[in-house]
Chains A and B, each alone.
Chain A
Amino acid sequence: MSLHLVLHALAVKKHADAPVLAEFTGLSQADVARLLGEAAGSGRVVAAQGKYVLAPLARLALDGHYAREYANVRANATFLQAYENFERINVQLKTLITDWQTIEVGGARVANDHSDASYDIRIVDRLGNLHERTDRILAQLVQGLPRLEYYRRKLTEALERAEDGHSEWVSDARLPSYHTLWFELHEDLLRILGRRRAE
């Protein structure tokens, strides 16, 4: 399970160093370093400048193991119901992020240049509302799979940074922003349950 978990973390995170992977998996840094060393030795991961990536073949092999690793979760009705609720709220999150990035002007959408603070405050406020509803769904998911607590904590951190006026924490793709974490969570759930992304 542990090796699969580290490889899974790399599949979700793409590039990551040992401390990030330890936080994600809930394993100790020493364990993660040992597992990464093993995986690098057998060619399953490749190290580059202190960060790791999955080797292409390891990615394929990994995909074949989810059904076994997550058999319990896939049979857990509460977890599946919570996942369906997450998919519903996912649609709202995507609309919200689109409203954050673009504004409507005379019927056409143009890029939001973030010059109107009150517009941005309203969106961050909506994100706060959505977060509170998401958090209830996450609490149910965590009951089925405790490591998902990681997302609850990190999403709250990103939200609070955005609320403090650091607006890049809403959707900047280069930071563990709210949207970045959300997509990682979505990817994680899709992998766990063997589903495919709609778009």
Chain B
Amino acid sequence: MGSATLPDGRWVISIAGHRIPDKELIGGKAWSIAKMGTLGLPVPPAFVVTTRACVAYLQTGAFPTGLVEEIAAGIAWLESATDRRFGSGPRPLLVSVRSGAPVSMPGMMDTILNLGVNDVTEQSLATDCSDDRFARDTHRRFIELYAAIVLKVDSAVLGNVEDLTSWREAIASAAGVPLPGNVVEQLHGAVRAVFESWNSRRARRYREHHGVPDHFGTAVVVQAMVFGNLDEQSGTGVLFTRNPVTGERSVFGEFLPKAQGEDVVSGRHTPLPLDEMRNHTPRAFAELMRAAQLLERENGDVQDIEFTVERGRLFLLQTRVAKRAPLAAVRIAAEMVREGIAEPDSAFAKLTCEQVRHVLSPRLPSGTADSAVILARGEGASYGIGCGVVVTDPDEAEMRAHGGEDVVLVRATTSPNDIHGMIAARAIVTEQGGSTSHAAVVGRALGRPVIVGCGAGNVMPLAGRTVTVDGGSGVVYADRLKLLVPAEDADTALADLLRWAELRSPVKVAAAPPPHAVLFDLDAVDDVVNPDSLRRFLSGIDLGSALHGRVLSSETAVAACVASGATLLIANPRLPVLLAAIRAVAERSAAHSKDV
């Protein structure tokens, strides 16, 4: 790709890799592309129509003078950088168009992909990739996105998608305006749609509620698309810098040779483990490994990186902080501190009390599946273990739970009429339905273990039996099984975190009260879930007392104790409460510095 630079215009700025323009001018997305570029990492070339242009457009309802010319210069720059042509062959330039406000908010325009494909360039693309079907799918996807995002028409219900000409006509007549065939007009339409999305109902409400000024405006990122399906030296994939399930310190990911990003979703190809990429494109693989390490160090956290290899050349499309399972979160937090990548304070800021609680929650000992009697299997839809007597009627479940019994609610399916029984139950099991069924959705909202889809007639006959439900693996066991409660100092990662947390916590947290301590049960306070009543109670007692109660599992309750000057909390496990206390102080000082 060429390297001639584009001089900064009044409205358009190139993201060329040697500097990072002001975030308020180019928005968050372009800012992170620019950031990767300055680290020397390969990103597809892009230019930004700035927030300044958006503000000017919104004042007059028309493109400001010079914007059309500057966009054309931006496109010419992308053409020379990629050696492709916008709107013509033999190697057509396709771009993505994204909104990029300085702060992310709802209601902003979704991404338009494949802009630049039309009847003519579809042919060139088919030749360039030697794949007619890919070129047609690319064209169809563009029309679908442009119709939905720019013309606000649901194209899926209109006409025959196999016949592009009649489909386009149907879309145009539903929209009341034509779908332009000219790629420059399409680009202008997309830029206008991004500008206008700044004033969508949702974006306006969000700004009003979160105090984001209306005059910021949004930028538009126009980025060259790269192709992972051109030849055997091309491909696309995703990489995690550490294993997001176990936390293990080794890269983890998938690679699809000779494929484009959308192929992953369509299921046309089966992805390979990332290691296989070493054989397909060894140089790009080595470069990717270096980039992964650099991005993890630079951002101080595990990264989730999307990339494409085009004819042997690596391009990074996006990097973000990786999502992780609770076990991985704990392990990663501890190891990042030990490796010197993160400070304990920032590691704690990324670890939630919920994640720690999850890792420390009771579980079935390993080997249970071999020794215990399995009564039924289904799809585990909400994590956790629940034991009790099987009840098949929600009213009965509520009544017996009220009488102090542990019950497991079993139904063929659940409906809103069953909610009181679901709240009362220790676990919920259904015969029909999958992970999006009512039982699964409501059970997760209530934090109950749920198994769905055990099969007709397989669990309703269990009424009256005592069972143990494992909502993670989807197994119903006979009887009340013994649970294993993980110790928070048995694991080195947890033990390290506990030690660092104790040094930072504003309040002492003990597993049991010291002898002769004055003990207060916070659960006995009237309206204890309300932090104000908790504070009122605390203002009337000796703050050297030991405070305990189930309410300490709530972060707001711990924050209220810290704010009131409590000195000793009793809780087991201790780490989630210590984390909540540290977080309370951090949030208070953040709020304080904002006021000042």
**A contact set with B: CB distance below 8 Å:** 11-12, 14-15, 91, 94-95, 97-98, 101-111, 113, 115-116, 118-119, 121-122, 124-125, 128, 133, 160, 163-165, 171-174, 179-180, 183-184, 187, 197, 199
Knowing A121-B104, A183-B415, say if A163 contacts B205 (CB, 8 Å).
yes
Distance between Cα atoms of A174 and B422 in the complex (Å): 11
Q: In the complex, which of the residues A125, A173, A197 contacts B415, with contact meaning CB atoms closer than 8 Å? A: A197
Within the complex, which residue of A103, A107, A199 is in contact with B433, where a contact is CB–CB below 8 Å?
Answer: A199
6 smallest beta-carbon distances between A and B, as pairs: A199-B433, A125-B106, A94-B436, A106-B244, A101-B444, A113-B354
Q: Which residue of A lies closest to B244 (CB)?
A: A106
For the complex with contacts A119-B323, A128-B202, 6 further pairs of A-B residues with Cβ separation under 8 Å are A14-B416, A14-B419, A98-B435, A98-B441, A110-B383, A163-B209
Query: B442 at interface (Cβ–Cβ under 8 A)?
Result: yes
Residues A164 and B436 in contact in the complex (CB < 8 Å), given A97-B441, A105-B325: no
Judging by beta carbons under 8 Å apart, are B245 and A173 in contact?
no
Establish whether residues B323 and A95, one from each chain, have CB atoms under 8 Å apart when the complex forms: no
| B interface, CB within 8 angstroms of A | 104-108, 154, 202, 205-206, 209-210, 240, 243-245, 252, 321, 323-326, 328, 350, 352, 354-355, 358, 382-383, 413, 415-417, 419-420, 422-423, 432-438, 440-442, 444-446
Cβ distance B292 to chain A, nearest Cβ, rounded Å: 15
Measured between beta carbons, the chain B residues less than 8 angstroms from A174 are 423, 446
Task: Decide if B416 touches A128 in the complex (CB within 8 Å).
Answer: no
Q: Tell me the complex Cα distance, A11–B105, Å.
A: 39
**A–B pairs, 7, beta carbons within 8 Å:** A94-B437, A97-B436, A128-B107, A172-B445, A173-B423, A180-B416, A197-B413
B402 to A: closest C-beta gap in Å: 12
- Residue in contact with A101 in the complex, picked from B210, B413, B416, B445, CB distance below 8 Å: B445
List of B residues within 8 angstroms of A133 by Cβ: 154
Q: Given A105-B325, A197-B415, A183–B383 Cβ distance below 8 Å?
A: no
- Supposing A98-B441, A160-B205, A171-B441 touch, asked if A116 and B107 sit within 8 A by C-beta, the answer is no
Q: Are B325 and A187 in contact (CB under 8 A)?
A: no
Residues of A within 8 A of B416 (CB): 12, 14, 180, 183-184, 187
Which of B154, B243, B444 is close to A102, meaning CB atoms less than 8 Å apart?
Answer: B444
CB-nearest residue of chain A relative to B417? Answer: A14
Residue in B383, B413, B417, B437 whose beta carbon sits within 8 Å of that of A11 in the complex: B417
Docked Cα-Cα span, A96 to B500, in Å, equals 38
- Known: A94-B437, A199-B437. Is A164-B244 also a contact (CB below 8 A)? no
On whether the beta carbons of A118 and B104 are closer than 8 Å, the reply is yes
Find chain B residues with CB under 8 A from A160 CB: 205
- Counting chain B CB atoms within 10 Å of each CB, which of A104, A107, A109, A115 scores highest? A115
User: Shortest Cβ distance from A22 into chain B, in angstroms?
Assistant: 20
Contact call B438/A199, Cβ cutoff below 8 A:
yes
A180 proximity list for chain B (CB < 8 A): 416
Q: How far is the CB of A158 from chain B (nearest CB, A)?
A: 14
By a CB distance below 8 angstroms, the chain A residues around B422 are 173
A34: min CB distance to chain B, Å: 25
Residues of A within 8 A of B202 (CB): 125, 128, 163
- Shortest CB–CB separation between residue A190 and chain B, in angstroms? 9
Say yes or no: B210 contacts A165, CB within 8 Å.
Answer: yes
List the B residue with the shortest CB-CB distance to A179.
Answer: B441
Q: Which residues of B contact A11 (CB under 8 A)?
A: 417
* Complex alpha-carbon distance, A183 and B420, angstroms: 15
Contacts of B441 in A (CB 8 A): 94, 97-98, 101, 171, 179
CB B131 to nearest CB in A, in angstroms, measures: 27
Q: Which residue of chain A lies nearest to B357 when distances are taken between CB atoms in the complex?
A: A113
| Cβ B245 vs Cβ A163 within 8 A | no
Q: Which of B106, B252, B438 contacts A163 (CB 8 A)?
A: B106
Q: Which of B328, B352, B383, B445 contacts A173 (CB 8 A)?
A: B445
- Min C-beta distance of B518 to chain A, whole Å: 35
Alpha-carbon distance A120/B219, docked complex (angstroms):
22
B325, A106: Cβ atoms closer than 8 Å: yes
Q: How far is the CB of A97 from chain B (nearest CB, A)?
A: 5
Contacts of A94 in B (CB 8 A): 436-437, 441
Please indicate the chain B residues that have their CB under 8 angstroms from the CB of A122 in the complex. Answer: 106
B240 x A109 contact (CB < 8 A): no
User: In the complex, A94→B439 CA distance in Å?
Assistant: 11
How far does the alpha carbon of A102 sit from the alpha carbon of B445 in the complex, in Å?
10
CA of A97 to CA of B240 in the docked complex: distance in angstroms?
Answer: 26
B323-A116 in contact (CB<8A) = yes
CB-CB nearest in chain B for A109: B435
Shortest Cβ distance from residue A6 to the other chain B in the assembled complex, whole angstroms: 16
Contact of A15 among B105, B383, B420, B446 (CB under 8 A): B420
Which of B206, B383, B436 has the largest number of chain A CB atoms within 10 A?
Answer: B436
Residues of B within 8 A of A187 (CB): 415-417
Which of chain B's residues have a CB closer than 8 A to the CB of A15? 420
Residue contact B444 to A104, C-beta cutoff 8 Å: no
Provide the residues of chain B in CB contact with A106, threshold 8 Å. Answer: 240, 243-245, 252, 325
Interfacial chain A residues near B433, Cβ < 8 Å: 199
Enumerate chain B residues within 8 angstroms of A97, measured Cβ to Cβ.
436, 441
B383 touches A124 (CB 8 A): no
Whether A164 touches B323, Cβ cut-off 8 Å, given contacts A128-B107, A199-B437, is no
Q: Which residues of chain B come closer than 8 Å to A128, judged between CB atoms? A: 106-107, 202
Bound-state Cα–Cα, A172 to B434, Å:
20
Tell me if B205 and A164 are in contact (CB < 8 A): yes
- Chain A residues closer than 8 Å to B358, beta-carbon distance: 111
CA distance A187 to B328 in the complex (A): 40
Taking the closest CB of chain B, its distance from the CB of A11, in whole angstroms, is: 7
Complexed CA–CA distance, A160 and B252 (Å): 39
Report the nearest B residue to A97, measured CB to CB: B441
Report chain A residues within 8 Å CB of B205: 160, 163-164
User: Cα distance A58–B105 when bound, in Å?
Assistant: 48
Cβ-defined contact, B206 with A103, below 8 A: no
Residues from chain B with a CB closer than 8 A to the CB of A171 are 441, 445
B209 touches A164 (CB 8 A): yes
Could you tell me the distance between the alpha carbons of A103 and B329 in the complex, rounded to whole angstroms? 14
CB distance from B436 to the nearest CB of A (A): 4
Q: Which residue of B lies closest to A94 (CB)?
A: B436
